[in-house]
Amino acid sequence: MSKADLRQSLEKIQSPRILAVGDLMLDHYSWGEVNRISPEAPIPVMRVLQEDQRLGGAGNVVVNLSALGAEVLVCGVTGKDETGDRIRKLLAENEVDPSGVIVSENYKSCLKHRMIAGQTHLLRMDIDPDPDILAPQKQLINFLEQRIPSCDAVVVSDYGKGLLSSATLKAIAACGKKHRIPIVGDPRRTKSYSIYQDFTLIKPNRKETEAAVGFALKDQNDALKAAEQLKTEVKLEYLVISLDQDGLLLFRSPEDYHFLEAETQEVFDVVGAGDMVSSILTFMLAGQANIEQAAYWAQLAASLEIQHVGVVSFSKNELLHRFDYGETSSKIMTTEKLLSTLPQELPIVFTNGYFDEISAGHLKFLHQLKTLKGFNVVAINSDRSIAKQKGQPPLLNERERALLLSTIEAVDRIIIFDDPDAGNLIRNIRPAIVVKGERFRKQQLPEQEAIQKTGAQLEYFPKY
């Protein structure tokens, strides 16, 4: 596969219609800090600073697909309870078609509450449905058989919470096969994957695979042995095994397989990586990409996912940005991602420039940002922008400049922009403080109007 073909395989996909079927959950995050041990018991006391609720389980796949630009239809069940109400509200906020969500009085909605201090998960509390109460299977199957024919792909996110019976899974597989629609399965932990017979592919993770085959996956030979065993037991076109920090295995046969290495060296949190892989595989297959292209983008997206604490989603542009710039710091991001992740509790401090011939003076300037006690965003002009204004390209390309800036402790985020000035960025980011060098004090700034309009405070740092 050429780099151009890989890029085009994602770039050309517009808005495929995808049906996401599975166990809908609510992920509740409590973020805080731990400074003492409880006097009541030898346990840490976490002071909660921020709380957040997001779609989890199959809902996480829904959010991933929606962020990529897919038209998403969801099929699942919630209880008639507060958690279920919140799940349905979040689906509506993500502009997802909820017509396949059944509200059942006998069903308890699934909640996972995570408590996180810094980058450390302290505790997770789960509320799960009663395993003896199945969702209304006949109603589910009728809905699926009506809607699958009009979709470009189906993703099944099975967490084993009572939604998907063997009969329902069989109906999904049969309908997909009849209408030649790819069916991607993210399976529950089970000793037999025969319930996913006739899916296009399933994507177990390392632990799920080990549970199914009965031995540990210590190396690539073990992974290949496990893949061959599962492929023999279950009639599938492909098998994809997610191997966390070791990447993933795409398996067709003992003679036709590929190991794709993880594309990151920074691992902060593996939560959500599996959902990301199944989301990207489905999106790519729905867009007519081949399986090798789908697996490549799935692994790249998973590598991005594990660089973040908590579950995050990515747009096509963000994935293409990573593809273009390669392995990079998690500080470097698109404007789109920056806007969705800016902290609420700190003032945003903004500065911008070429940062081409980076000198000791530049470093002193940036280190002074710490004195403002905010969240420091540095925007740098792209190579295209500099070449247009100076008539020649910069000495260091934009990736090199961004990577250098990312090593500076005082810099929290870096974005690259194409405009001749940062006015539009300031209007979008709305920083509390904009910082310039002292030499600009008596000059008319091109961003002056944007600074005044947003009410940002303008600070000048000493000459450098």
User: pTM of the full predicted structure?
Assistant: 0.72
- How far is residue 342's CA from residue 360's CA, in Å, rounded to a whole number? 29
- pLDDT tens readout for residues 149-185: 999 999 999 998 888 999 999 999 999 999 999 999 9
Domains along the sequence of the chain with CATH: 3-325 (3.40.1190.20), 335-461 (3.40.50.620)
> What's the pLDDT score for residue 268?
44
Lowest mean pLDDT, pick from 49-53, 79-83, 255-259: 49-53
* pLDDT value, residue 80: 93
Mean per-residue pLDDT for 232-241?
92
What is d(CA 29, CA 42) in angstroms, rounded to the nearest whole number? 23
Segment 303-314, tens digit of pLDDT:
777 665 556 788
363 three-class SS = helix
Catalytic choice (27, 158, 269, 275) = 275
User: What are the tens digits of pLDDT across the range 141-158?
Assistant: 999 999 999 999 999 999
**Mean predicted confidence (pLDDT) in 12-32:** 94
Query: How far, in Å, CA of 280 to CA of 240, rounded?
Result: 12
Residue range 60-74, pLDDT digits in tens? 999 999 999 999 999
The per-residue pLDDT for 241 is 95
pLDDT reported for residue 269? 44
**Residue 433: alpha-carbon gap to chain centroid:** 30
pLDDT of residue 358: 78
CA-to-CA separations, 16 to 73, 100, 282, 285, 290, in angstroms, rounded: 11, 18, 10, 10, 15
For residue 239, give both structure tokens: 């098998």
Give per-residue burial for 428-461: e unless 16+ CB within 10 Å, then b.
ebbbbbbbbbeeeeeeebebeebbeebebeeeeb
Instruction: Say if residues 297 and 278 touch (Cβ distance below 8 Å).
Output: no
Which stretches does DSSP call E strand in 97-140? 97-104, 110-117, 120-127
What is the distance between the alpha carbons of residues 152 and 292, in angstroms, rounded to a whole number? 18
Give the DSSP H or E segment for 36. strand 24-37
**E-only strand ranges, 339-451:** 348-353, 375-381, 413-417, 433-437
323 phi, psi to nearest 5 deg: -60, -45
DSSP string, 218-268: -SHHHHHHHHHHHHHHS--SEEEEE-GGG-EEEEEETTEEEEE----S--S
Please write the tens of the pLDDT for every residue from 245-265: 788 999 999 999 999 987 654
For position 12, what pLDDT does the model report? 96
β-pair type (97-104, 110-117): unpaired
Annotated active-site residue 158? The verdict is no
| pLDDT tens-digit map of 261-295 | 876 545 444 556 788 999 999 999 999 999 999 99
- Mean pLDDT, the chain, as a whole number? 89
